[in-house]
Amino acid sequence: MQFNQTMIDEFTLLAKFPRESKMQGIKLHSDAEPSLLSAAQRLFDKGIIDSPDGGYLTDLGLELIDHVTVVHSALQG
């Protein structure tokens, strides 16, 4: 199993979502890094976030953010 840059960009964007509340989201502005804008579109297309410029995590997104948090914690040294 290997993570490619596309996946890493998606992980990076997911990690930016607040984990304290399901009622908080993020908004990417048009001057954001192109890699994050592309990641947001892909996550939207996959049904993980509810807007192509961020928005809120869907039910799938909420489940994934838990996994991203675990992976991040385990790899943080």
Backbone angles phi, psi at 29, to 5 degrees: -90, 165
Average pLDDT over residues 9-34: 91
Task: Render pLDDT for 52-75 as a digit per residue (tens, 0 to 9).
Answer: 999 999 999 999 999 988 988 999
Where along the chain do its domains lie?
5-15+32-75
Amino acid occupying residue 50: D
Whole-prediction pTM value?
0.89
d(CA 58, CA 44): 9
